[in-house]
Structure formats: structure tokens, C-alpha cells
Amino acid sequence: MWFVVLAGCNQIYGLDGTRAVDAPMCIPATTGDNFDAVMSNPCGAGFPSPPNGAGLTRTSGTLILRPPPGNDTDVGCTSPGFTIIDGAFIEVIGTLGDGGTYSQFALEDSTTRQNIGGIKVVHVGGVKTLFAFDAAQVTSAEVGYASDRMRWWRLRPAGRELAAEYSADAKAWTTFGMIATNLPATVVANIIGGTYEDVQAPGMMVVDNFNVCPP
């Protein structure tokens, strides 16, 4: 997974913070991390894989998250800290299955590791809903989820709030919620797939093209 730092949006850093290349890759956000590289831990310094063998894989140029069956399980990736940005966005190709699952993209304070806010799809009762949520996991906005129109998710600082946005092509963005928050100097990003009920077949969350970059 590659993270883009603000210096001209050209310095691309790996999750472990040690690898870097020069590549202009902001807009359109289709040349970000394609997850092609094979790694023993697909997320580098990320969440550990669950002990039952389910977890994280890179397949066909995507990152796949498979939470283990059960209640309150999750798996995901997190980043090293980076300076607060103009926009963090990701391509969400597929979300987890029905029965009480969530697929989430969020920011945290890099020092306290407290949640700042994020976007998630909750799937229950055959219905998928896209939520914007704050530091206390309180919903600030929700809209029926349409995977084609909402393939890209973005969190963009706007004053003392985060704008929660979606896009079909990473070019034209729709703001569907504003998240009240206290923005710290540095943040980390995380991608998590999990369950909040007893789900025996959570399915897969499939993502691609993560970027932290001015929009």
C-alpha cells in the first residue's frame, strides 16, 4: 500500500515508511497503489491476520480483507502517521456480505489512536447503507449504497469538519455528510472489514488505489 505525502504529491511512501518512489499520481486517482506487489504481510505494519488463517491477501492487483466468522471480528490495514491532508481516498470494489457486516475507511489521531471519523457500508437484512460517522461512531449522515456511483470514498478536511464524499470515477465528488471533529496535526488511515453480529460467512471487502493527496 502506498501513501502520498504533500511535497508536490510526488513522494509515495510504503506502509512501513521505508520505501519511496517518485511518481505524480493524484488525479485521476487511478494510478495509485494497485496492490500488485506480493508481501508476506499484505499491509506491512498493519493489523495482524486472524489466527484461523482468514485475513489479508493481494490478488489480481487488489487488497482483499476477509474477517473471520463470528461476532465482533475484524481485519484490516493501518498506516504510519502523516501530516493532515487535503483528501484521503480509496477505491472500494466490493464490500462485505449480508448478516451484520461493515466495510470501513477511517482516520485516527496518530498519537492517541483515537478515531476522528470515517465512512463505512453496513450490510444487514439485504440492504447496504453508506454512513459517515464521527469520533464516537455516531452517524452524521447516511444514504442508500450504490456500488457503481459510490466506488470511490474520500475524507476531506473542511475547516473543523471532515467532508465524507463518494464518486463513481474519482473526479466528480458528491459530499453526503459533514463530520464534526478536532483535526490533529498528524493522522493515520485505516481500512477495516468486520462483523457486529454472529456472521458465519462475512465475505470479502475488496479495495484498490489508496491515496493521500490534494484533490
What domains can be seen in the chain, in order of their start residue? 34-212 (2.60.120.200)
Contact yes or no for 10/28 (Cβ under 8 A): no
What are the residues whose beta carbons fall under 8 Å from the beta carbon of 39, sequence distance 6 or more?
Answer: 58
Give mean pLDDT, residues 77-99. 80
Is there a contact between 115 and 106 (Cβ–Cβ < 8 Å)?
Answer: yes
Which three cell numbers, joined as nine digits, stand for 115?
478515531
User: What are the distances in angstroms from CA 128 to CA 121, 123, 196?
Assistant: 6, 4, 14
Q: Residue 99 has what pLDDT?
A: 85
Instruction: Evaluate the CA torsion angle 137, 142, 145, 147 in order and state its sign.
Output: negative
Helices (H), the chain: none
Q: Name 86's bridge partners.
A: none
User: 54 pLDDT band (50/70/90 cuts)?
Assistant: low
Beta strands 173-180 and 2-5 are: unpaired
Q: Quick one: average pLDDT of 57-82? A: 82
- 59 vs 23, residue with greater confidence: 59
- The span from the CA of 99 to the CA of 110, in Å, is 32
- What average pLDDT does the segment 158-179 reach? 91
Between these two residues, 134 and 10, which has the higher pLDDT value?
A: 134
Strands 127-134 and 139-144: antiparallel
